[in-house]
Amino acid sequence: MPIYDISHPLHPAIAVWDGDTPYSYRSLCRLDEGASVNLGSVEMSVHTGSHADAPFHYDDNGATMETLPIETYIGAATVIDVTGHARLTRELLEPLEFAPRVLFKTGGWKDTAQFPEWIPTLESGVAEFLASRGVILVGFDLPSVDTLDSKTLPIHHELGAAQIAILESLALANVSPGNYELIALPLKLVGADGSPVRAILRTAPA
C-alpha cells in the first residue's frame, strides 16, 4: 500500500509566523565528545511546519490539544485540487463527493522557507456546508485557513463552530486528487493550542 508523507521536514530555515519561536535543535550530549549517548532538545512554536490547530488557538474557551478525539485525525480523506481558485466557495465544492476529512491542494505555498504574500481561503459559510456533508476535518497546504493579515480569524471560528478540526501546512504537491486514508496524529500536549503532526496518506482500500 503506497504511503505519501505529507509532512514538511522541520529545520531552522522553515518559515514561522512573525513573533513565533523558530525551530532549533540543540545537542546536549554527544558520543564523539565522550558522552554515553547522543541527546538533543528541540525548541519551536507548536504551529511550525505541518500541524493541528486546537480550538484554544483562537478561542479562550476552546478545547486544548490533549482533549481532542484522536479518531478525528485517522480515517477516510479526500484530496481536492483547487489550484488557481482564489476563494473556495460552496458552488465550487457542492458538486463534489468527499470523505469526512477533506484536504485542499491549493499550490499556494511553494517555498516553505518564506511565507507566501497571499493565500486562497474558504468563503464564509463553507464551513457550515462542509459540516452538513459530514466533514469533521479540513487540511490545507497553507500556513493558515484565514488570510495572512487577519486578526479576527473568522474562518477558524466558523470551522470551530461547525466542529471541524484544522490541519495546516501540509505537503500536498506530490499527491494526486482522490480518496485516501489519512493518519495525522497530534502530540498529546496538555493545555496546548496546537501540535506538530507527522501526517501521511495511504491509498484507500478498494
Report d(CA 58, CA 62) in Å as an integer: 8
Report d(CA 196, CA 46) in Å as an integer: 6
Give the pLDDT score at 205: 61
With a cut of 60, say whether residue 206 has pLDDT above it: no
Give pTM, 2 decimals. 0.96
What is the rounded average pLDDT of the residues 110-129? 96
**Residues with a known catalytic role:** 57
With a cut of 60, say whether residue 136 has pLDDT above it: yes
Report d(CA 112, CA 171) in Å as an integer: 10
What does the mean pLDDT of the chain come to?
96
Reply yes or no on domain 3-10+46-203 having CATH 1.20.120.530: no
Q: What is the DSSP letter of 23?
A: P
Domain definitions of the chain by residue range? 3-10+46-203
Report d(CA 17, CA 170) in Å as an integer: 16
Give the pLDDT score at 171: 98
